[in-house]
Amino acid sequence: MLNVALIGCGVIAQFHLRGLAKLATARATAVCDVRADVARQTAAEFGVPHWTVNASEIFADPAIDAVILALPANLRTALAIEAFRHGKHVLTEKPVAMNAAEVRAMLAVQGDRTGAVCSSRFHNFESARAAREFLRTGALGPLRTITCRGVNPAGPPFKNPPAWRLRRDLNGGGIFVNWGCYDLDYLFGLLDFKLTPQVALARTWQVAPQYAAYAAPGSDGETHVAALVTFAEGCVLNYERAEFSTLPPDNHWQITGERGTLTLQMLKAKSANIVLTEPDAGKGTRTRVIWEGDESVLNEHDGVPADFVDAILQKRKPLTSLQDSLLFARVADAVYASAASGKPVIFD
């Protein structure tokens, strides 16, 4: 039975606590938040025996095996480093960190402890496992393009938009780190994170004046990003994400190779989630379903603590490890650098 502590008692922490409560192999034994009333209330609501406002108490407690960092990105790296130095396993919320340098700093002190990242949420579905197994067969041939377009029109404005969501100093960026971490974790993970980025070219746009009410005061992160990234393996990433926009809804994920295209559904779908388009001698192309099923009732949050705990107990790699997440962090750094300079950025 693993003893797990949560640091940060906001909305996302509640999902982690519910997920832990469903496990027979782990339990939440402590929660921490700088707001004493919130920490106390969270502990009472979820039956957690201990609460504190001091994270150092969590790290110093030898009975605690692992910590989940459920607080803004600008606060997590220092806490993760301290946790690793005290021999704790660490699950960090998404995005993994403010930049790639912070990920490397965590990796430098991780040692033999498990480090996992919550951007793996959409890897937990059976459809993702089926897609990954199919891609490992090499049936697509040499890869050409990796594509994601996730755009959504503006709906009713938020009543109280969270301050961290579009703040570079709190979250490292805007929509790209908020949702791009999921998109690219999903796509890169299906390819076992075996990609070597070369060059990035990108543009970002902040919230348009007519949607200013959708962003909290002081927001400076982007709500629309378009990027092109080349890889040494011979393929190219085409990426676009937008929110609070006039664009019609369009959400799709695709991986194209010399011998076929796999059309994917990262989000929960009810049928034909994974579809292959391949050559046909008589008709030019044909399509067939690789996997289909109804995943609409699944909870993508439960799988994250379950995978983390299982990875610790089985001494295996989690679905997205800290090392895996470095690929997204490097791409994010280059995308933002290119958007700021208006020029292509070459990866080190």
* pLDDT at 113 > cutoff 80: yes
How far is the C-alpha of 113 from the C-alpha of 90, rounded, in Å?
8
Quickly state the pLDDT bin for 269 (edges 50, 70, 90): confident
Q: Where in the chain is the domain with CATH 3.40.50.720?
A: 2-121+303-320
Strand order in the sheet with 66-69: 50-52, 26-32, 2-7, 66-69, 89-92, 115-117
pLDDT, residue 169, reads: 93
The tens digit of pLDDT for each residue in 273-282 reads 899 999 999 9
The tens digit of pLDDT for each residue in 3-41 reads 999 999 999 999 999 999 999 999 999 999 999 999 999
Global pTM reads 0.95
Residue with tokens 């909290």: 216
Q: Give me the amino acid identity at 243.
A: E
Quickly state the pLDDT bin for 299 (edges 50, 70, 90): confident
What is the dotted CATH code of the domain comprising 2-121+303-320?
3.40.50.720
Choices 1.20.120.450, 3.30.360.10, 2.40.10.480, 3.40.91.10: CATH for 123-298+328-346? 3.30.360.10
Quickly state the pLDDT bin for 293 (edges 50, 70, 90): very high
Q: How many CA atoms lie within 13 A of 236 on its CB side?
A: 5
Tell me how far CA of residue 130 lies from CA of 63, 151, 261, 301, in angstroms: 38, 25, 15, 20
Q: Where in the chain is the domain with CATH 3.30.360.10?
A: 123-298+328-346
The tens digit of pLDDT for each residue in 141-200 reads 999 999 999 998 888 887 888 888 899 999 999 999 999 999 999 999 999 999 999 999
Tell me how far CA of residue 109 lies from CA of 4, 24, 305, in angstroms: 20, 30, 22
